[in-house]
Structure 1
Amino acid sequence: MAIKLEMLRTFRVVAEQGALADAADLLGRTPSAVSMTLARLEENIGAPLFETDRKNRLTRLGEMILEEAVRATDVFDSSMGAIRRLTASTAGTVRIAAVPSIIATLLPGAIARFRFAHPEVRLEISDLDSASVRRRIRLDEADIGILSAAVDEPGEGVTVAADRLGIVYRTDGPIARALAEGEGAPSWSLLALEPLISNPLCSMVESPVVARLLEACNLEARNTTALLSFVREGLGATVLPEGAVPILGSAIGFVRPDDPPTRRALRMICRADRKLGPAAQAFWDVLL
């Protein structure tokens, strides 16, 4: 008799619950049926998976097989989810994970055009930092991701837009006063007037001033909402893209230094090993 996915799933639930009765309740089966499935699995393997009949402690072999059971059932569940989305054809759900600036600028128009052509499709939008967008795509928790990257950075995705990076500051703080009193083009050196609130975009700025401030920085945030809250509370200044300007709100200013001018690309990504479903592909084409 071959080892079946049902056996591995049953074994995983029993191992994770640590009790046969609890596992049976979770699986919607009787304890005797669960016990019989485990017995068939152990018969196929040729060795016990649990050290006692109470099923609360795994053997060393059981621990290793549990890792494989988790991997196998997770892959199967992920594939079933993908199949369900594909069989939904254009009438389904498209999951989009994007950085906040794209949600405030490019995405609303794309959504309006898409909904006009596909009113039956549900759109789920997540507001995340770039690292979280990548993670959602990798774990198949989003169909399409839109993230920030350096303009000259090779590799992933398709560039759909680009904009300038700049300094975000309180309009009644030291940077605002220096801008009001100063002459000439704004400089990244303005960041030295206030504590730096770092985020991954800061590393794109090729300025020795920013590099030095990053080394000494003791406050970091990756979420745009958190960054803006910190700036609004007077905790310092940070670097954000020009696309974030519409969501800055009151009491916060934005300036683009020219020493050097720094651009970031907005890139659209998806799983390279999995074809987009019809609805997701249609939204991808709209964004392009």
Structure 2
Amino acid sequence: MAIKLEMLRAFRVVAEQGSLAEAAGVLGRTPSAVSMTLAQLEANIGAPLFETDRKNRLTKLGELILAEAVRATDVFDSSTGTIRRLTTSIAGTVRIAAVPSVIATLLPGAIARFRESHPEVRLEISDLDSDSVRQRIRFDQADIGILTASVDEPGEGVTIASDCLGIVYREGGRIARALAESEGPASWSLMRLEPLIANPLCAMVAHDDIAGLLDGCNLEARNTTALLSFVREGLGATILPEGAVPIIGGGTGFVSPADPKTLRELRMICSSDRKLGPAALEFWNTLL
């Protein structure tokens, strides 16, 4: 009889649990069935794997074979997990993690096009900041990620769009009044008129006033909805991309200074360790 994976798994669990009874509980089998499987493995190998019938101490050969059993069962479990993920992606779910401006602007059209040809696929959309998008991809909690990056950052993923960063301010506030009274171009120095509500995008602006405000900032948020709520409440002004304008809403304004003009890129990423399933790959191409 050839050595089978179920023999190696039973042997591994018995060795790890230290008894037939405990192993039987883990495997969901009777102790006699587990004992028979072990006997078949030992008969195939031609030597005992345990020093005693209590199965709590391995022979030298048993220690060597245990290492192979662990390796074989781990590889099998990893492969079956990958197959399940692929099956889910084909007919079940595609998981997308994206920054809020993408969800408000790029995704609706892409979803509409994708659903025309794949109406059976479920789409799960998560609204996150860029660091959280990376984390979702790293831990296989999302198939596709879309994040914000500076144009100067090393290439990460595929660039699908770019837009300008700008100041989001409250209507009726100091920045709004300064803009109404000024005839010249807007400057990042306007941010000195109100407290800065910081977020990770602020660090992308190469302006001395923004750097100084960041050093003394005592209010920071990563969620776009929270940032906009703070601005509307008069807690200060913040920096967001032009792509967020559709979700800015009433009570606030947006201006993009040119000293310097600051671009952000939207980049689409996926895991470098795992291939996209067919449905996820189709959605990837739809976004491209």
Shorter-chain TM range is: 0.7 to 0.9
Kindly indicate whether residue 203 of structure 2 is the aligned counterpart of residue 203 of structure 1.
yes
**How far apart are 1:163 and its partner, in Å?**
0.5
Normalising by structure 1, we get a TM-score of 0.77
Change (3 A) 1:44 1:161: farther
Partner of 2:183: 183
For structure 2, the 5+ residue unaligned runs are: 39-53, 62-69
Equivalent residues in 2 for 1:241-280, closer than 5 Å: 241-280=241-280
Task: State the structure with more CA Rg.
Answer: 2
Once residues 9 and 238 of structure 1 are traced to their aligned partners in structure 2, the CA distance between those partners, rounded to angstroms, is 56
Change (3 A) 1:200 1:8: farther
Once residues 190 and 15 of structure 2 are traced to their aligned partners in structure 1, the CA distance between those partners, rounded to angstroms, is 60
Computed over aligned residues only, the root mean square deviation of the Cα atoms, in angstroms, reads: 3.6
**How far apart are 1:7 and its partner, in Å?**
7.9
Partner of 1:136: 136
Once residues 7 and 250 of structure 1 are traced to their aligned partners in structure 2, the CA distance between those partners, rounded to angstroms, is 66
CA offsets 1:130-182 (integer angstroms, 9 cap, x no match)? 00000000000000000000012112100000011000111121111111111
Once residues 124 and 101 of structure 2 are traced to their aligned partners in structure 1, the CA distance between those partners, rounded to angstroms, is 17
Once residues 81 and 233 of structure 1 are traced to their aligned partners in structure 2, the CA distance between those partners, rounded to angstroms, is 48
Q: Match of 1:169, as an amino acid?
A: Y
Once residues 264 and 9 of structure 1 are traced to their aligned partners in structure 2, the CA distance between those partners, rounded to angstroms, is 52
Kindly indicate whether residue 154 of structure 2 is the aligned counterpart of residue 171 of structure 1.
no
- Which secondary structure does the structure 2 equivalent of 1:90 belong to? helix
Change (3 A) 1:89 1:143: closer
CA offsets 1:86-110 (integer angstroms, 9 cap, x no match)? 2356322110000000000011000
CA contact (8 A) 2:14 2:55 kept: no
Once residues 107 and 91 of structure 1 are traced to their aligned partners in structure 2, the CA distance between those partners, rounded to angstroms, is 20
**How far apart are 1:79 and its partner, in Å?**
5.2
Partner of 2:49: none
- Which secondary structure does the structure 1 equivalent of 2:226 belong to? helix
Which segment drifts farther, 175-184 or 133-142? 175-184
Give the percent of matched residue pairs that are identical in Structure 1 and Structure 2.
66
Change (3 A) 1:133 1:117: same
**How far apart are 1:77 and its partner, in Å?**
6.6
Q: Match of 2:100, as an amino acid?
A: P
Kindly indicate whether residue 192 of structure 2 is the aligned counterpart of residue 229 of structure 1.
no
- Which secondary structure does the structure 1 equivalent of 2:246 belong to? helix
Partner of 1:145: 145
For structure 1, the 5+ residue unaligned runs are: 15-19, 47-68
Partner of 1:106: 106
Q: Match of 2:225, as an amino acid?
A: T
Partner of 1:123: 123
CA contact (8 A) 2:10 2:27 kept: no
CA contact (8 A) 1:85 1:92 kept: no
Once residues 238 and 45 of structure 1 are traced to their aligned partners in structure 2, the CA distance between those partners, rounded to angstroms, is 66
Change (3 A) 1:7 1:144: farther
CA contact (8 A) 1:149 1:265 kept: yes
Once residues 212 and 282 of structure 1 are traced to their aligned partners in structure 2, the CA distance between those partners, rounded to angstroms, is 45
Q: Match of 1:180, as an amino acid?
A: A
